[in-house]
Structure 1
């Protein structure tokens, strides 16, 4: 049996993961390329790069390719907030209006359209914890569910292509109603962009500077940023699309180029610094971030958070301890639903059996709009990372398939929960 296993995982079944992704998605052109990494027991058990970073220019995908991680930015922003919580510079039960006074009297939508909204008083103030767990009453324009969503679209709130700034978004939100009273429901939203604004306000330095100086530089995340500098453009992936963002309809014409890496908005510093979806990163960088999370907030002697803070972040914070189906009003998010709760920046598995896919109670995860995905399982001492560039993330069931394949490769139990 020697040589057939690595880090308590079957080598044969790990190879099956690469074969499945290639045959099911890359070779047939459904995905331009895919990078899969599995970290277990302190080592990479699988590191596979398949297909193209740029199909039009025939640039192969490489380990150091740079990806748009979109909503995988959210866990990074949430860690930044919790670092400030640990310093007692902000508290989870602080009213958001303490930092944004113009939001003190935000009402709840009771009827009407953008020019004639009718509102009613919120049952309680919006708290910082509501922003972290998406129970704030805010929304995303792409939800396309209500008149409030329509107002977000009209004002281009939270869109990465907006020409406005984060401060301007905060000001515009002061003039719009909430979808619901804070704590009443779960709705995927611009909440994490608002958290980025709070990080800048509370820390006294620009949000993007805080991330670089307090998270990226200490962890050695050398390629993670809100834009791609000129000397790294050759490593920047093209982004492709099928159907429409938020849609489960896949075009029969296959993926089309959505963002050319040589003419992308990401090539310049954006005016809107999005803590909800603005970062680019690499597999090496994001794996270092995930390893820090797996190890209770510390990596290679650098501690960003205490283990108790990580435990708090990865607990289910949905009111009443319910899972997402019981509370969600979202038309679209980056999470599966049954058996899954939501913590402070991550989805978390509450009841593994209800998910109908392998996993562990307390594993936590999130994904991005271009089909990127990661999860951390402390019980199994495991991290899974999947990077590609295809919009929308709902196009294919590759995330659940990857989890199934990875867990089926385990032959020995992992470490004790940290």
Structure 2
């Protein structure tokens, strides 16, 4: 059987990625490999503590923070979010998903915290990105690949969101991404603390996630990887350098995909979830909150409609949940997600397994690239 190093190295050797780090853990047995370089020029070798833009594996972290506020009694799952987000207090909905943005009807009921946590608030990406209401998410909110310095401040962002009609009635459909950004604003307003401060105080500091945040300080830039996308010929072109968009704190800290982190930092978060919300003997979340996060919240029809992103699986709070073994790596109950910057992280409570893969090549679409699938196959076989 090949090892983790060789699995990752094969994708570096064929030119798919400049480098990658991976972790496969079951209980106390942890296998880690770092291969390739931090950039295409080979400036420095990839290392276990290299820092990456983790994109959408930010989502489970932010969902956990929302559940902390639920446990604090500041919000409740079935509360209308309009109490804290008045911009969403009286939403309108396009008459049909393909309708013009001025062909709307009132929402049948308020958007709740549960809707936002389960990505069923009515805003977000369906399978068809060309729909008029979806186009406004790109043009007005800068939804899409993370570009932190280009997004408006939270109040201005929420104002723009309030002028975009919902694509579906609250609770009716799973839609990707936007709900996680709404969660970030909800956390800040309900807690009275900026999102970066709340996450640092309640999650990152207790878990020892010392390299996780919305910016990379100057004294850590030497560990920060460069970020690339492939051109039409497959050559890697630079999207963001270490001194680029993550070198200063953005005005909009994105709960959908704004964090940077390391392999061991996300592993610390994963271990907390596997320990039913406990870290170092200190409870951060209740077992019930972890159970809700990691349990599929969708109906069969909602799962089917989300196939472009979910590939037939379900969605909990902030991450996907495997509901069937479609591929060798799918284990019912596996929870986690993947990020458009080339990242993936999952836990499986039934086996005590954590798998984390961090690379620096943008995904070309919602479908997981070969590197991820090779990594998952390896993790399922060991």
TM-score relative to the length of structure 2? 0.92
Preserved CA contact (<8 Å) 1:357 1:400 = no
- Residue by residue over 1:119-148, the C-alpha shift from the partner in whole angstroms, topping out at 9 and shown as x without a partner, is 112232211111111111102599633101
User: Do the aligned partners of 2:4 and 2:32 also contact (CA within 8 Å) in 1?
Assistant: no
1:327 aligns with one of 305, 312, 317 = 305
For the pair 1:193 / 2:166, whether they are aligned, the reply is no
CA contact (8 A) 1:141 1:152 kept: no
User: Are the counterparts in 1 of residues 53 and 259 from structure 2 also a CA contact under 8 Å?
Assistant: yes
Partner SS, residue 77 of structure 2:
coil
Please list, as runs of the form range in 1=range in 2, the aligned pairs for 1:46-195 lying within 5 A after superposition: 46-110=31-95, 113=100, 117-140=102-125, 144-158=129-143, 160-195=148-183
**Among residues 256, 259, 265, which one is paired with 1:285 in the alignment?**
265
**Separation in 1 of the partners of 2:280 and 2:140?**
44
Match of 1:38 in 2: 24
Within a 5 Å distance, the mapping from 1:165-244 to structure 2 comes to 165-242=153-230
Question: Relative to 1, partners in 2 of residues 1:103 and 1:405: Cα closer, same or farther, differing over 3 Å?
Answer: same
**TM-score scaled by length of structure 1:** 0.85
Q: Secondary structure at the match of 1:150?
A: helix
Deviations 1:69-115 (A, max 9, x none): 0111111110000011112211111111122223222111137655x
Residue in structure 2 matching 1:29, options 15, 26, 34:
15
Range with greater deviation from structure 2 (226-235 or 55-64): 55-64
Distance in 1 between residues matched to 2:127 and 2:196, nearest whole Å: 25
Question: Does the 8 Å contact 1:374/1:385 carry over to 2?
Answer: yes
Kindly report which structure 2 residues correspond to 1:225-304, keeping only aligned pairs within 5 A, or say none. 225-242=213-230, 251-262=232-243, 264-304=244-284
- Greater mean alpha carbon deviation, residues 50-59 or residues 198-207: 50-59
Q: Distance in 2 between matches of 1:101 and 1:219?
A: 33
Partner SS state of residue 36, structure 2: strand
Q: Secondary structure at the match of 1:293?
A: helix
Q: Contact (CA 8 Å) 1:240, 1:389: kept in 2 or not?
A: yes
Q: Distance in 2 between matches of 1:26 and 1:365?
A: 24
User: Which residue pairs with 1:343 in the alignment?
Assistant: 316
Q: 1:143 to 1:60 in 2, by over 3 A?
A: farther
1:392 and 1:399 map into 2 onto residues whose CA distance is 10
CA root-mean-square deviation: 2.0
Shift of 1:20: 2.6
Indicate the SS of the match to 1:265: coil
For structure 2, the 5+ residue unaligned runs are: none
Structure 1 Cα separation of the partners of residues 271 and 12 of structure 2: 27
Alignment of 1:333-412 (within 5 A): 333=309, 335=310, 337-338=311-312, 340-352=313-325, 355-392=326-363, 394=367, 396-409=369-382
| Aligned pairs, number | 375
Structure 1 consecutive aligned stretches of length 4 or more whose deviation exceeds 4 Å: 111-114, 140-143
* Partner Cα distance (1:361, 1:103) in 2: 35
**SS of the residue aligned with 2:156?**
helix
* Contact 1:141 1:150 survives alignment (8 Å): no
Q: Are the equivalent residues in 2 in contact too, given 1:142–1:149 (CA < 8 A)?
A: no
Q: What whole-Å deviation, never above 9, does each CA across 1:149-204 have from its counterpart, x for those lacking one? A: 22222213445342411121111111110011011111103111111111111112
Q: How far apart, CA to CA, are the structure 1 residues paired with 2:49 and 2:248? A: 20
Q: Does 1:20 align with 2:7?
A: yes
Q: Structure 1: any 5+ residue segments left out of the alignment?
A: 1-12, 244-250, 410-418
Is the CA contact (8 Å cut-off) linking 2:87 and 2:158 kept in structure 1?
no
